[in-house]
Amino acid sequence: MLLVSYSVLNTPSNIRPIADEWEWQYQGACKNVDPEIFFLEHGDRSVTKRKKEEKALTVCRTCPVIQQCLKHALSVPELYGVWGGMTADQRIRILNKKQP
């Protein structure tokens, strides 16, 4: 079932094509990789987590859309998992440096 607000349907300025904003994901080197290595248990500091992160980062290093992915992850911001060749901790450090 699709629920759409009447007010949203009558507000053309709110309607914009968002497919282009996500198109890059179809080119991601991770698209056929087990997502479990990219989305890890929050707060887990185990060796297993680091090994999974390293596997994910290795995939990212081959990715043709790494720049778009990192830009997205920092702008949303995505606070969990490996995105754009960076771990969540690495991205959070960058975001914290941008705070005034």
74 binds ligand SF4 (CB under 6 A): no
Residues 6 or more apart whose CB falls under 8 angstroms from that of 58 comprise: none
59 binds ligand SF4 (CB under 6 A): yes
The partner residues of 83 in beta bridges, in order of sequence, read 86
Q: Which of 40, 60, 87, 88 binds ligand SF4 (CB under 6 A)?
A: 60
- Specify the length of the chain in residues: 100
In terms of CB distance, is 16 or 58 closer to ligand SF4? 58
What SS3 class is residue 83? strand
Residues within the interface to ligand SF4 (CB under 6 A)? 28-30, 38, 59-60, 63, 65-66, 69, 82-85
